[in-house]
Structures are given as C-alpha cells and as structure tokens.
Amino acid sequence: MRFVGIDIGSRTIELVVVDKAGQITRSLQAGTGKFLEIMARSLGFEIEAFGREALQAEKNLNISSMCTVFAESEVTSLIASGQNRQEIARGLHSSVIRRAAGMINRVSSQGDIVFTGGVAKNPCMRILLQGKLGRSILIPDDPQSMGALGAALLAAETG
C-alpha cells in the first residue's frame, strides 16, 4: 500500500511518501509557524472553534500571504472593511491547504492521505484538503500523538 503522510502542527508541515514495503521514498518540510492559531486569535475565535466557524462561511475570501505578519495585516484590513469573519477564516484555512496540497501533488498524485498533527483535529482542514485533492483523507483517533508513536516504534525496532 502506498500512501502519503502529512503532519501539520504548530511549527511545520511535514510530508512523507511511503511505498508498499513501508519505506519512506520522499519527504518534504515547510514552515507554518503558529499561523492558524495566531489567525484564529486575530479574528476573535478560540482555536478549537476556528475550523467549525470557517465551515459556516458562504464564500471563501482569498488570503494571499502565508507569512503570519503579512496575513495578520491582511486580516485586519478585511475586518476593517466589514468582511465576514467566518469567510476570512475560511480563506485562511484555504491558504494553508493550497500550500499543503501543492506539496502533496509534488510528491505523489495517487494513494490515500494520512493526516496527523494537531491541525488534523480541525474539521475544516480535513474537508478542504479532501476537496482540493479528491483523495481519501485518513485521520487517526489521536493525531497529535502519531509522531511520538512512530518514534517509539522505530526505537523499539532498532534498540
């Protein structure tokens, strides 16, 4: 079974492609900082509610920057111009998904996507990623612990 694993946490987007033998054949990493958390706070949302609020948006506003400082300025301008906070939230989610989907498409155009990391708990991210890629998105019950579990399994094999 070939699959792509993507882990989006507070610091990075990490991506691995695993072949049928379970070997990692490609990997990529990109920084995200605390982008979604800071943007949620800028809009006055709790991080736990941010994805649910974004899913309520009727349209998607385009946020052009993934740089937290520039995006926060863009969000401030959108709020000042009277734009809907949920639509801004949806645009912020979409900007992260564009980056993640671009990374995935560079390494693999087939197979399931295993989504881990704290951001996998955000329902908007899962729905947008699945819609953008048209592929199954699998999320473990405790997506935040998968990196530590993988490290423990690797240590058990080698130690």
User: How does pLDDT run across 44-74, given as a tens digit for each residue?
Assistant: 999 989 999 999 999 989 888 878 888 889 9
Q: pLDDT value at position 137?
A: 94
Please determine, for residue 2, whether its predicted confidence score (pLDDT) is greater than 80: no
Q: Which of 84, 112, 92 is nearest to 35 (CA)?
A: 92
pLDDT digits (tens, 9 = 90+) for 16-55: 988 888 888 888 888 776 889 999 999 999 998 999 999 9
| Closest C-alpha among 92, 9, 99, 10 to residue 43 | 92
Rounded to the nearest 5 percent, the helix, strand and coil shares of the chain are: 55, 20, 30
Q: What is the pTM for the complete model shown?
A: 0.88
Answer yes or no: are the C-beta atoms of 68 and 38 closer than 8 Å. Answer: yes
CA atoms within 13 A on the CB side of 113: 29
The pLDDT of residue 33 is 66
Domain boundaries, the chain: 3-154
Look at residue 1 and tell me whether its pLDDT is greater than 70.
Answer: no
- Fold of the domain spanning 3-154: Nucleotidyltransferase; domain 5 (3.30.420)
Q: Which residue has the higher pLDDT, 155 or 122?
A: 122
